[in-house]
Chain A
């Protein structure tokens, strides 16, 4: 079924109010089970015959209400004790279609980021709901070394430099991050100070997830907590391993240096 689709769908469960014009504006409460810019999968207690014209009211994200989105039922069948209807958005404005496809795309984008790479669509959506989009101009500071860490950032586009001052007070660029990279992740799980600064090196848009929102999301969902903690530990252990390697070589080199200098 996915093969046949031109537009990618994400599988998330959203409550929806379905208004049926032909039934004198009667409405039914149902659940969207997948959504893309071309349409939705809908589960209802009521059978909607093929060809039924409906209006959909739902909320992809708090404060982002979709009102009276027109849909056309293309087929319906019984699933267990409910009915499934495939609905296409046949007369959606380009602007609306774009809004939905950007949103579903962003849910899928999150799944390509390491700390979220084993989440399913629904779990990724929970994270997406607590992402706020933030913009920085070239040269603008995102956070300063030594400040309290309160959020994780994901680069949507643009470039971010991670920098640190050395003893001489000169700034050194430790890394340049681009689309799909993330930084500041430890702040999500632990209180602590930023060990480096982050500065936009060119105009950058980022997703920001704060520790408070993250904690709220985790407290409602044990499985998601386990998955995320597991991924975070994986990131940390890989970095520790890499540091261990460098450390041993540095210790060794230091010893040789001392020997040479006698």
Chain B
């Protein structure tokens, strides 16, 4: 049994509450349950009634539009007696490989989204909503993502790789300064979401990159349709931006002081 559990943990589990229809193999009656968590190899499901160990179950559930599973055979691995219901740890016995692949892709995306610091406070269910709002895009090393002066229409978070942010100097337009390297879990281009202005810097893939992109339109749709999620994200923006501003101000103060110090020595 312990082998079974470690086997199951090879796959990422996400906490999603989905409605599940359960049929106990020799009873035939449909029992209603709710998932507690889900992976490509099994799920934990909360059910009011007691089902003895050793029975195989037929389970049906829908993760989202186009991702529906029907009559998957599952074995009860363990039972947990909670106050007003039981939690059953189930192992899928005959989940088609394609279906398992789709669940894996989904749990992977949720964990990628949550690895972005801005989104780390989201629940798995919220991360899934957000994942479906945006898009994952690959950019090869050296590819331009956006250019200073063009219309900003999207926000980017780095899932994999690094992005270089640079900007031309006001004093000498031929000179370009690297302002930042954006790493995994960080974001850039967010000003486009808030003030519809022109890009004030260049963004170029510094390595091969995997980016999560949300356009202005998608973001506005999210605010309209899911206020609580939008509030969480906006609060995340405020926190990160204020930290960034503080760091930037500190850096400028340091630069000023180092110059002042240099002048003193001279």
Q: In the bound complex, do residue A230 and residue B249 qualify as a contact, i.e. CB atoms below 8 Å apart?
A: no
Interface string of A220-252 (1 = CB under 8 A from B): 001101100110111011111101111111111
Q: In the bound complex, do residue B238 and residue A254 qualify as a contact, i.e. CB atoms below 8 Å apart?
A: no
Task: Find chain B residues with CB under 8 A from A222 CB.
Answer: 227-228, 231
Chain A residue nearest to B261 in the complex (CB): A167
Q: A190-B238, A190-B239, A243-B245 are contacts. A237–B171 as well, Cβ < 8 Å?
A: no
Q: In the bound complex, do residue A252 and residue B171 qualify as a contact, i.e. CB atoms below 8 Å apart?
A: yes
Q: In the bound complex, do residue A248 and residue B177 qualify as a contact, i.e. CB atoms below 8 Å apart?
A: yes
How close is B162's CB to chain A, nearest CB, in angstroms?
Answer: 19
Chain A interface main SS type:
helix
Q: In the bound complex, do residue B177 and residue A236 qualify as a contact, i.e. CB atoms below 8 Å apart?
A: no
B117 within 8 A of A: no
A146 within 8 A of B: no
Q: A244-B201, A247-B251 are contacts. A229–B235 as well, Cβ < 8 Å?
A: yes
Q: In the bound complex, do residue A236 and residue B238 qualify as a contact, i.e. CB atoms below 8 Å apart?
A: yes
Q: In the bound complex, do residue B191 and residue A237 qualify as a contact, i.e. CB atoms below 8 Å apart?
A: yes
Partner of A167, one of B195, B223, B257: B257
Q: In the bound complex, do residue B248 and residue A247 qualify as a contact, i.e. CB atoms below 8 Å apart?
A: yes
Q: In the bound complex, do residue A247 and residue B179 qualify as a contact, i.e. CB atoms below 8 Å apart?
A: yes
Partner of B194, one of A189, A230, A243: A230
Task: Find chain B residues with CB under 8 A from A240 CB.
Answer: 191, 241, 244-245, 248
A186 within 8 A of B: yes
Task: Find chain B residues with CB under 8 A from A232 CB.
Answer: 238
A192 within 8 A of B: yes
Q: In the bound complex, do residue B238 and residue A237 qualify as a contact, i.e. CB atoms below 8 Å apart?
A: no
Task: Find chain B residues with CB under 8 A from A237 CB.
Answer: 190-191, 194-195, 241
Chain B residue nearest to A234 in the complex (CB): B194
Chain A residue nearest to B165 in the complex (CB): A244
Task: Find chain A residues with CB under 8 A from B230 CB.
Answer: 226
How close is B59's CB to chain A, nearest CB, in angstroms?
Answer: 36
Q: In the bound complex, do residue A233 and residue B238 qualify as a contact, i.e. CB atoms below 8 Å apart?
A: yes
Q: In the bound complex, do residue B179 and residue A226 qualify as a contact, i.e. CB atoms below 8 Å apart?
A: no
How close is A48's CB to chain B, nearest CB, in angstroms?
Answer: 39
A171 within 8 A of B: no
Q: In the bound complex, do residue B259 and residue A186 qualify as a contact, i.e. CB atoms below 8 Å apart?
A: no
A166 within 8 A of B: yes
Q: In the bound complex, do residue A244 and residue B167 qualify as a contact, i.e. CB atoms below 8 Å apart?
A: yes
How far is B256's CA from A249's CA once the two chains are assembled, in angstroms? 12
Chain B interface main SS type:
helix
B6 within 8 A of A: no
B242 within 8 A of A: yes
Q: In the bound complex, do residue A226 and residue B227 qualify as a contact, i.e. CB atoms below 8 Å apart?
A: yes
Task: Find chain B residues with CB under 8 A from A238 CB.
Answer: 195
Task: Find chain A residues with CB under 8 A from B4 CB.
Answer: none
Q: In the bound complex, do residue B238 and residue A189 qualify as a contact, i.e. CB atoms below 8 Å apart?
A: yes
A257 within 8 A of B: yes
B200 within 8 A of A: yes
Q: In the bound complex, do residue B241 and residue A249 qualify as a contact, i.e. CB atoms below 8 Å apart?
A: no
Q: A223-B227, A243-B245 are contacts. A250–B172 as well, Cβ < 8 Å?
A: no
How far is B262's CA from A11's CA once the two chains are assembled, in angstroms? 59
How far is B253's CA from A243's CA once the two chains are assembled, in angstroms? 11
Task: Find chain B residues with CB under 8 A from A243 CB.
Answer: 245, 248-249, 252
A253 within 8 A of B: yes
Chain A residue nearest to B257 in the complex (CB): A167
Q: In the bound complex, do residue B172 and residue A252 qualify as a contact, i.e. CB atoms below 8 Å apart?
A: yes
A176 within 8 A of B: no
How far is B201's CA from A255's CA once the two chains are assembled, in angstroms? 20
How close is A235's CB to chain B, nearest CB, in angstroms?
Answer: 9
Q: A233-B241, A236-B242 are contacts. A166–B177 as well, Cβ < 8 Å?
A: no
Q: Which residues of A contact B (CB under 8 A)?
A: 166-167, 186, 189-190, 192, 195, 222-223, 225-226, 229-230, 232-234, 236-241, 243-255, 257
Closest 5 CB pairs of A and B: A229-B234, A236-B241, A252-B169, A222-B227, A186-B242
Give 4 new A-B contacts, CB below 8 A, not counting A236-B238, A251-B169: A237-B195, A249-B171, A251-B255, A253-B171
Q: Which residues of B contact A (CB under 8 A)?
A: 167-172, 175, 177, 179, 190-191, 194-195, 200-201, 223, 227-228, 230-231, 234-235, 237-239, 241-246, 248-249, 251-252, 255-257, 259, 262
